[in-house]
Amino acid sequence: MAANRNNYSTEVLIIGAGAAGLLAAWELARAGRRVCLVEAQDRIGGRVHTLGPPGFTRAIEAGAEFMHGEVPLTRALLAEAGITWEEADGESYLVQGGELQAKANYFDLLPPLLEKLGALAEDMPLADFLAREFQGPAHAALRTFATQFAEGYDAADPHRVSAWAMRDEWSAGGAQDSPRPVGGYGPLLHWLAAQAQAAGALLHLGAPVREIRWQPGQAEVVTAVGATYRAQQVLCTVPLGVWQQGPQQAGYLSFVPEVAAHRAAAAQLGFGSVIKIVLEFRTAFWEDRLPELEFLLSDAPVPTWWSQLPAATPQLTGWLAGPAAQQLAEASDETVLQLALASLAPLLAVSPEALQAQLCASYVRNWGREPYAYGAYSYATVGAGAAQAALAAPVAGTLFFAGEGAYSGPFAGTVEAALVSGQDAARALLALPVPAVTPNSAT
């Protein structure tokens, strides 16, 4: 009898083929579970996207790029996959008010911040903390540093981000350690997908989930393209931006019955927007002015730039994050590109015309308007620990949840967070008895 191509049955259905979903699929499949992984987009990776647009001489990272901190699971998986990573030992520069400062150490202002944060008995938003503890013109530079760091590095709204979370992040020092996987994160995620499939997991792309109807021990998942999946257990790894969509908004994910506690927890957490602009030039013409350039920070509209050191590729990546990126969520790529070029030209001490003449290729990725993501990565608000635990809590041994937004730990907002969360959810699922109702094999 021919199988119905629009109806599938499996033991575990995983929603989302990003880092969390792929690692969970591998964990479950190699433990003997029948797994089907469905992904809304026509590619794997989620907010990791390594690609080679026209005009570029090497692959670029449209999403996650760096390894911040020790990230032990990421490093272990890279090693198992035979993928190395590389660190740049270049120079950081700062341009403020048109003045160039070489060998800029942006973290010199940390000691007084950490001293006050260490004495903070009750958590509060960072902006409130700065206004209370560092008033007046004498502390203007410190307030600016802390605010710009929260917005630019954490993609956070300083009026929502937790002061305690910023204290923990600054104390850990992960922002000062930024190696990259050689070839980008894409090869690691493709390796994970291959491992999961070799272990028996099925992967269906172009299958955006719209509704999850469930009861203890079974679920029916309906996609926007009319396919129906039946499973004993569902692991949902969608980004926090999907959780935060309203019923009338694109990408809204419906649960029947509703999981109100999870929805409320997701609403309490922060989810930041990011725009990346990758530019490749004919030559690294900035080397005379900025030798060994690794990072360049400024007060320009697109304030953060970095090179591809240690690679010699004449490429610069612009970064705009947090509220400033959110304001441009609906801007066209051309508008963003022109803003980036207008920001970069004076930083490199060249005319806009000279910069344009050097430009070979450009690419803009605006994560605020990215379908099935609606942002870049999470940040901790006041009370985030309880909200993250609530979002990650399984329901009736049937619904499980993972993703970097559900992660609580020292690597928030990173690929490591997604991987750890996916692994933890898969192991929690495996620790439970297999439900008594067993669907037919996946078709």
Please write down the HEC assignment for all residues of the chain: CCCCCCEEEEEEEEECCCHHHHHHHHHHHHCCCCEEEECCCCCCCCCCCEECCCCCCCCEECCCCCCCCCCHHHHHHHHHHCCCEECCCCEEEEEECCEEECCCCHHHHHHHHHHHHHCCCCCCEHHHHHHHHCCCHHHHHHHHHHHHHHHHCCCCCCCCEEHHHHHHHHHHCHHHCCCEECCCCHHHHHHHHHHHHHCCCEEECCCCEEEEEEECCEEEEEECCCCEEEEEEEEECCCHHHHCCCCCCCCCCEEECCCHHHHHHHHHCEEECEEEEEEEECCCHHHCCCCCEEEEEECCCCCEEECCCCCCCCEEEEEEECHHHHHCCCCCHHHHHHHHHHHHHHHCCCCHHHHHHHEEEEEEEEHHHCCCCCCCEEECECCHHHHHHHHHCCECCCEEECCHHHCCCCCCCCHHHHHHHHHHHHHHHHCCCCCCCCCCCCC
- pTM > 0.75: yes or no: yes
223 part of a folded domain: yes
pLDDT at 174: 62
Residues 259 and 393 placed together within one structural domain of the fold? yes
pLDDT at 101: 87
Give 89's pLDDT tier (boundaries 50, 70, 90).
confident
pLDDT at 108: 77
- Residue-wise pLDDT for 196-245, tens only, equals 999 999 999 999 999 999 999 999 999 999 999 999 999 999 999 999 99
With a CB cutoff of 8 Å and minimum separation 6, the contacts of 299 are 95, 96, 97
pLDDT at 438: 45
Percent of the chain surpassing pLDDT 90: 88
Q: Among 170, 201, 217, give the residue marking a domain's end.
A: 170
Nearest to 159 by CA among 126, 204, 184: 126
Q: How far apart are CA 416 and CA 413, in angstroms?
A: 8
Q: How far apart are CA 242 and CA 58, in angstroms?
A: 31
Give 172's pLDDT tier (boundaries 50, 70, 90).
confident
Beta bridge partners of 321: 274
Residues 118 and 254 placed together within one structural domain of the fold? no
pLDDT at 433: 85
Q: How far apart are CA 406 and CA 401, in angstroms?
A: 7
* Domain, as residue range, for 402: 7-47+185-268+380-431
92 part of a folded domain: no
Residues 191 and 264 placed together within one structural domain of the fold? yes
Residues 207 and 261 placed together within one structural domain of the fold? yes
Provide the domain count of the chain: 2
pLDDT mean over 114-129: 96
Least confident of 174-188, 235-249, 267-281, 398-412: 174-188
Count other C-beta atoms under 10 Å from residue 216's C-beta.
Answer: 13
pLDDT mean over 269-273: 98
340 part of a folded domain: no
Q: Among 170, 199, 223, give the residue marking a domain's end.
A: 170
Q: How far apart are CA 62 and CA 291, in angstroms?
A: 26
Unique residue bearing structure tokens 């590619």? 43
Residues 408 and 264 placed together within one structural domain of the fold? yes
283 part of a folded domain: no
With a CB cutoff of 8 Å and minimum separation 6, the contacts of 249 are none
pLDDT mean over 3-20: 88
Residues 198 and 164 placed together within one structural domain of the fold? no
Least confident of 66-80, 95-109, 202-216, 348-362: 95-109
77 part of a folded domain: no
Give 359's pLDDT tier (boundaries 50, 70, 90).
very high
pLDDT mean over 102-130: 89
Stronger pLDDT, 441 or 217, i.e. the higher one: 217
Residues 133 and 196 placed together within one structural domain of the fold? no
pLDDT at 414: 96
pLDDT at 105: 67
Residues 204 and 135 placed together within one structural domain of the fold? no
67 part of a folded domain: no
> What mean pLDDT is reported for the chain?
94
Unique residue bearing structure tokens 């050097």? 358
Cα radius of gyration rounded to whole Å, the chain? 22
204 part of a folded domain: yes
Residues 258 and 234 placed together within one structural domain of the fold? yes
Residues 386 and 240 placed together within one structural domain of the fold? yes
Residues 263 and 114 placed together within one structural domain of the fold? no
Residues 192 and 242 placed together within one structural domain of the fold? yes
Does residue 56 carry a pLDDT above 90? yes
135 part of a folded domain: yes
- Residue 412 sits in a domain whose CATH number is 3.50.50.60
